[in-house]
Structure 1
């Protein structure tokens, strides 16, 4: 972008967020894995959130269409106050500073997770709009997620000189799991990234769902596995089983062989998440994801045991976890 274009963009953006002659205090919000950038706008009498998304080029736009779908079906999402695709900008309601992961009391957190599961159940009852229906966790999509982690690990492995390698047996296990999940017939609506950091504690102290724009079709276990094996805010195995039972008691869909599907999906989802944490930590130098790597590996160890997956799968995660916990270079933050 030329200097002239940059100046023009900045000028238009300033006009867009100036309300009744008042220009707000603009503060960047904590950067997460999303490609979108969010900013907190402090006006004299109110606060708002600005989202900048380079993919927002024209209407219809996925974020706006899916927001409307959620809202029409009584799922709380941020209000869209204004938008301008010429500057890739959306103005949103401020849904609070804290997300679900900020709750420190385990008992309180457990109860709020039941509210989150209620949202999953609401989503799973809905008939998808065409935008959602045409996107699905098929073999190709799931395989792409697997390769994402394998590639991220290869770069991480080289940097830290790790001897733990992805074996042929491990590769074929994930190939088989990807095939079975991709061919699941009765797919339902999935948020796709349903974890504690995407559930805001709004001013009314209920949950506001964010990062919903990539909602798509998948197994009934996808969002549940994302939530119960959330590496941002770990829970105990007993709490996980309690919440799993809560979902079974409230699920709006017919569940056949669900335990097997759930554990396969949990393995696939946590493996994909591991790749994201590795990339953000190593390639993008985001230190806060160090702990998420260890939490994800501990989740994967539990899942491989519960699902009685191949020994090579457990050995890989065990050896990698052990190597990292003994690696001073990994454990110590960079200066």
Structure 2
């Protein structure tokens, strides 16, 4: 992975003209990341090339988070026309890899990330668009737009959307007042910093929405198995200050948003394969179906569970996607 052509001049203009540049792991988007090192100084270069990417939302949320007392990367330099942003380097100690090596730390670290969410939800939300019905529906419709064609399924798309409108209504009503929802809050986006804080990454798609969304994103992680008892213990920890009735309602919304998110991710991971050629994302689909099926067992989701049973039976869910026959 080579740095963008404009990187050398951008770094020179900002005092890093002798720096070495090396690639670091990226994400599922068009963004790319490079480590920049000049002696003892280190930084991360984000390449967010227009028109595919716009770094302004990332910068705005980073500044909101740091202004609210949370650990987001400091913005060291920017050139928005070129899509180049120089960021504080949070190192390589990700929550995911740390727990792979130190599973005995799992309970303590998950408690910390849930506590961080509780603090974020008590802070005034960022000035962002709402996570509204239209956005929720666009996301769940990725299943019928990509996964179902990839499995050669003719499904009831109108009924699918109608049911989701009804199920999501109480969740949307409860988003008042809203909280900041980072939308990709999981173990691969949490950095364990040397000063003991938890560094936050990949929040550029943040919206104002329901507090259960980031909670379910962490506890029903698309990329890491989270045991049922750990999920329950952390959910109970988050709800420690809720009375019984409020906790029951929240758990219902948690299941709904879990099903919404997991439905969306099945669609996204299929799209990454059939549209972008990233077949490795199909490896996550068995986990996503397990998570979705767990959420669908909640009584609040009975109508959409019935739709899935009628339109995507078990034998299809367990059937590998044939990439050569997938939708374009």
TM-score normalised by the shorter chain: which range applies?
Answer: 0.7 to 0.9
Q: Which residue of 2 aligns with 1:240?
A: 231
Q: Which residue of 1 aligns with 2:105?
A: 108
* Contact 1:191 1:214 (8 Å CA) reproduced: yes
Deviates more, 1:29-38 or 1:290-299: 29-38
Q: Which residue of 1 aligns with 2:261?
A: 269
Give the TM-score taking structure 2 as reference length: 0.83
Task: Report deviation, 1:171.
Answer: 4.5
From 117, 121, 132, the equivalent of 2:118 is 121
Change (3 A) 1:116 1:276: same
From 133, 136, 140, the equivalent of 1:139 is 133
* Contact 1:120 1:224 (8 Å CA) reproduced: yes
Change (3 A) 1:317 1:41: farther
* Contact 1:138 1:181 (8 Å CA) reproduced: no
* Contact 1:138 1:183 (8 Å CA) reproduced: no
* Contact 1:164 1:319 (8 Å CA) reproduced: no
Change (3 A) 1:202 1:319: farther
Change (3 A) 1:255 1:213: farther
Change (3 A) 1:235 1:313: farther
Give the TM-score taking structure 1 as reference length: 0.81
Task: Report deviation, 1:240.
Answer: 0.8
Q: Which residue of 2 aligns with 1:82?
A: 77
Distance in 1, Cα, partners of 2:218 & 2:154: 28
- Runs of 5+ in structure 1 lacking a partner? 1-8, 331-335
SS for the counterpart of 1:136 is coil
SS for the counterpart of 1:142 is helix
Change (3 A) 1:146 1:80: same
From 309, 315, 322, the equivalent of 1:319 is 315
Task: Report deviation, 1:226.
Answer: 0.9
Task: Report deviation, 1:166.
Answer: 5.7
Q: Which residue of 1 aligns with 2:37?
A: 42
Matches within 5 A, 1:141-156: 141-156=135-150
* Contact 1:48 1:91 (8 Å CA) reproduced: yes
- Residue deviations 1:148-179 (CA, integer Å, cap 9, x gap): 23212134224xxxx58567654443232233
* Contact 2:55 2:85 (8 Å CA) reproduced: no
- Residue deviations 1:169-215 (CA, integer Å, cap 9, x gap): 54443232233433434222211221112112234453210112222
Change (3 A) 1:294 1:166: farther
From 79, 87, 92, the equivalent of 2:87 is 92
Task: Report deviation, 1:121.
Answer: 0.9
Distance in 2, Cα, partners of 1:21 & 1:183: 49
Task: Report deviation, 1:271.
Answer: 1.0
Superposition RMSD on alpha carbons, in Å? 3.0
Matches within 5 A, 1:274-293: 274-293=266-285
Task: Report deviation, 1:228.
Answer: 0.9
- Runs of 5+ in structure 2 lacking a partner? 324-328
Distance in 2, Cα, partners of 1:240 & 1:21: 44
Count of residues in Structure 1 that have an aligned counterpart in Structure 2 = 309
From 146, 159, 181, the equivalent of 2:171 is 181
Distance in 2, Cα, partners of 1:80 & 1:301: 41
